[in-house]
Amino acid sequence: MSLRTYHDPLHRGITLNASDAAEAMVMQLIDAAPFQRLRRIRQLGPAFLTFHGAESSRFTHSLGVFHLARLALERLLQFDSGLEEHRGLLYGAALLHDLGHAPLSHTGEEIFGLDHETWSARLVREHPAVRAPLEAYAPGTADGVANLLERGSSPHSVIKALVSSQLDCDRLDYLLRDSYSTGTHYGQLDLERILSALTLAPDGAMAIHPKGLMAVEHYLVVRNLMYRSVYNHRLNVVCNWLLEQVVSTARQFGAAHVWADKIMATWLWSLNQLDLDTFLANDDLRTGYHLLRWQDEGPAPLAELCKRFLNRHLLKALAVQHLSHSNQLEVLTLARQLAERQGFDPALCCGLRHQQQRGYHPYKGGLRLWDGRQLRALEQASPLVASLITPADSSWLIYPREIHGELQAALAT
């Protein structure tokens, strides 16, 4: 078939035409096993325990990012036809930017200690089913995509901005998609207005026409709200912490006491020996199966952690960022003492989790306004955007719900 359409819940029909060389390349990349693996990687990791609809995959998101990159390129070609020569690079980078995600997406990065950009680049450079279509399109495309994903280097700043900036196609898609799948309404964007406002500054870099200022302000506020209400939700914090304890505990007990198949054994105890095939063989299905086995057969501490996660018998989280660091440690000590009195192992159920979020970073792919006469940094033109630059810290005390009353009483005195 020369035409193929993916029916996306957000973008509707995403149609590819095999008679177009760049889109034929995309079709081959989608059919490759490393990309199909993304169907088995949840976009939002363990957030399905907080938002029951959060079941979308990295596969779906990656198609959406490609779709938006294609729309943005068509818009910007009106200002610089020379961008056409970078179409294959943009399509490849947009589609494959998440190829190297570990199981459970960003949570997997944290618990296993991997960087998805590094693995995405390695798969692009080394996996035949990924490298071959890119090189068939144009020699050097595979290395170009890998360098863009891993190092942020690109022959044209516009291509880099569309893949990684404060207003890239990745962020536009995941805000829309994650809002949709979690049932929240913060992620509603005026996507059409944002895309129509894309333009080029006199230096050839991407800029925003002032007519799109409010749509971009809204996008940045939306991103801030999504981090506060979804990505950094207290139960997501708890789930991520629990999974970190699962992997840490399994590693501490070692292969002599914890069952793992050959693939998971490498991920747990021989991470420096991780090759392409072993990396690709792990996904949410394999990791989930190991959690089930460990719940039934693992050492008691590991089994308890897995049971908590699988049965959603979650710990509680209390915001403590208003306390000094020393006071946070005192509260943690108190929680551990209370947990131990109740018969819990405090090492497995009490902890502190710190995060920092900046709503807008002017020095990392910062945006500029260009009206044909004046070029201004976005934060200079918008007090609202300027207010988002200051980072916001959050700190959470994690503890068993069984000590909640005692802990609250102790803190109130």
330 and 248 inside one domain? no
Give the integer Cα–Cα distance in Å for 316 and 335: 11
* CA–CA distance, 412 with 318 (Å, rounded to integer): 13
Structure tokens at 45: 């990791």
Q: Residues 297, 324: one domain?
A: no
With respect to residue 374, please indicate whether it lies within any of the assigned structural domains.
no
Span 161-218, pLDDT tens digits: 999 999 999 999 999 999 999 999 877 899 999 999 999 999 999 999 999 999 999 9
On whether both 153 and 256 belong to a single domain, the answer is: no
Please check whether residues 266 and 350 belong to one and the same domain. no
Same domain, yes or no: 280 and 336: no
Domain count, the chain: 3
- Alpha carbon dihedral 256, 262, 264, 265, in 10-degree steps, equals 30
pLDDT tens-place string over residues 27-85: 999 999 999 999 999 999 999 999 999 999 999 999 999 999 999 999 999 999 999 99
Residue 106 predicted with pLDDT over 90? yes
CA dist 162 and 79 (Å) reads 15
Residue range 260-285: mean pLDDT, rounded: 98
For the beta carbon of residue 355, count every other beta carbon within 10 angstroms: 15
C-alpha–C-alpha distance, residues 124 and 276, integer Å? 11
Domain membership flag for residue 294:
yes
Same domain, 332 and 257: no
Tell whether 131 and 271 lie within a shared domain: no
pTM comes to 0.96
C-alpha angle 199-202-208 in degrees, rounded to nearest 5: 25
Distances (CA, A) of 224 to 218, 356, 358, 359: 10, 12, 8, 5
Asked if the model's pLDDT at residue 366 lies above 90, the reply is no
| Domain identity same for 275 and 346 | no
Each residue of 227-249: pLDDT tens digit?
999 999 999 999 999 999 999 99
How far is it, in rounded angstroms, from Cα 178 to Cα 185? 10
Q: Tokens representing 198?
A: 């894309």
DSSP β-ladder status, 206-208 and 316-319: unpaired
Which range marks the domain in which residue 114 is found? 3-184
Domain co-membership, 325 together with 292: no
Contact 219, 172 (CB under 8 A): yes
Q: Are residues 161 and 75 in the same domain?
A: yes
**CATH number of the domain residue 73 falls in:** 1.10.3210.10
What is the per-residue pLDDT for 153? 95
What pLDDT is attached to residue 362?
A: 85
Give the pLDDT score at 142: 98
Mean pLDDT value across the chain: 96
> What does the alpha-carbon distance between residue 407 and residue 331 come to, in Å, rounded to a whole number?
9
Gap between the Cα atoms of 160 and 163, Å rounded: 5
pLDDT category, 1, cuts 50, 70, 90?
Answer: low
The strand order across the sheet containing 368-370 reads 198-200, 206-208, 368-370, 375-377
340 and 400 belong to one structural domain: yes
